[in-house]
Amino acid sequence: MGIDTGNTAWVLLCATLVFFMTPGLAFFYGGMARSKNVLGTIMQSFFLMGLIGVEFCLLGYTMAFGDDISGLIGGLNKLGLEGVGTAVMEDTGIPEMAFVAFQAMFAIITPSLISGAVPGRMKFGAYALFSLIWAICIYNPMAHWVWGGGFLAELGALDFAGGLVIHILSGVSALTLCLLLGKRQGYGRIPMLPHHMPMTILGASILWFGWFGFNAGSALGVGQLAANALITTLLAPSAAMVAWVVVEWMHHGKPTVFGAASGCVAGLVAITPAAGFVTPLGSFWIGVIGGVICYFAVAVLKNKLGYDDSLDAFGIHGIGGTWGAIATGIWATTEINEAGANGLLYGETDLFVAQLISIVVAYALAVVGTFIIYKVLSAVMEMRLDKNAETMGIDISEHGESGYNQSSL
């Protein structure tokens, strides 16, 4: 099959949109952090654009999409993108290099999401090394299991754009890591409020903009499926934003801008695994329920259990991704995507069971894998800042610079 120039242009465009999401995430998290940690928080996302970009092209792609080995991992036949240069993907007519570029952007943003649970207290070197090992040992195998022909794909699990592979893995790993690191100094005793809400809203807006490429690009071509994914990526976060703000208004007494941004992202997370499998009406309900569930995870559950998931990586990505994977097993229909399956609302149970099994596998991999990586690294290096450095802030203590320098002129 020759190259389909329309599909190729679409995938390359969407890859650049997804690339822009990581700076968006950096702004989203940076505005939520305290002012003394803004640069360090941004750096934890921005630096991974380089680090994981190198790792995925040289090693990650072949681990995820190389020749399948017993349903567990890809072979090394595409190490360093060997043999990929002139290959064309048969189903879509896009160069495999375009697919590599698209998947690389997913690999970059996934470990960046974890940083939302640990701002202001993890050493930069430890975070960078943790992220690299996490990408190799946790992300790449899971990507193969679901997208590369591994055992979860054989089981029948569906994940259109990363609810299982990206959001559950990163969100649950974030929770595990924040528990291992411990709480910030003064957590629960002194206010730790977002220092720059306009920055956070800008970040959320960039994320939503890029998410159209994230989900619609996962169709790997132009057509009805991409259009459906784009519409569901509009409707679900819109519904989740409204639901979050309404529930917050009733529960907290005021509708907040921060709540609107959080609700939007929660809806985006929830629709990610389902975007190319459900109807627009289905995406509306996924968004509404996702907004409500994630609000209570952030505003109620976190406070009751007392864990310091600082920027709600687990409450939004872990919980939202879990709901999205379950919802896919409920609302998916072959009327939208013949390559998918029918969920509970369409009279079939196999998909729902496959989704539940996949969720359990993702949770187990994230918890056990993160625990092992942390313990191994902590045996050879300091993972957490000392008290003085944490009080000073990571901008100065780790990077020797400040986000807001005051001129004497």
The CATH number assigned to the domain holding 373 equals 1.10.3430.10
114 located within any domain: yes
Rounded distance, CA 49 to CA 12, Å?
17
pLDDT of residue 351: 98
403 located within any domain: no
pLDDT beneath 70, residues of the chain: 1, 406-409
Query: Dihedral sign, CA of 382, 193, 234, 282?
Result: positive
pLDDT of residue 85: 86
Rounded distance, CA 189 to CA 193, Å?
12
**Residue tagged 């609000």 (tokens):** 295
402 located within any domain: no
Strand, helix or coil at 307? Answer: coil
Rounded distance, CA 235 to CA 399, Å?
40
pLDDT of residue 167: 98
pLDDT of residue 406: 66
Give the angle 116-119-122 at the CA atoms, nearest 5°: 120
Residue span of the structural domain in which 212 resides: 5-386
Following CA atoms 290, 291, 297, 299 in sequence, which dihedral angle do they give, to the nearest 10 degrees?
-170
Q: Tell me, what amino acid is at 83?
A: G
Rounded distance, CA 57 to CA 64, Å?
11
Domain count, the chain: 1
369 located within any domain: yes
Q: Structure tokens of 290?
A: 């996702």
pLDDT of residue 2: 86
Specify which residues 74 forms β-bridges with: 68
Q: Which helix H or strand E contains 69, and what residues bound it?
A: strand 68-69
Q: Structure tokens of 279?
A: 């109807």
397 located within any domain: no
Q: Tell me, what amino acid is at 242?
A: V
409 located within any domain: no
214 located within any domain: yes
pLDDT of residue 1: 65
Residues in contact with 63: Cβ distance below 8 Å, sequence separation at least 6, in sequence order = 73, 74, 136, 140, 141, 143, 144
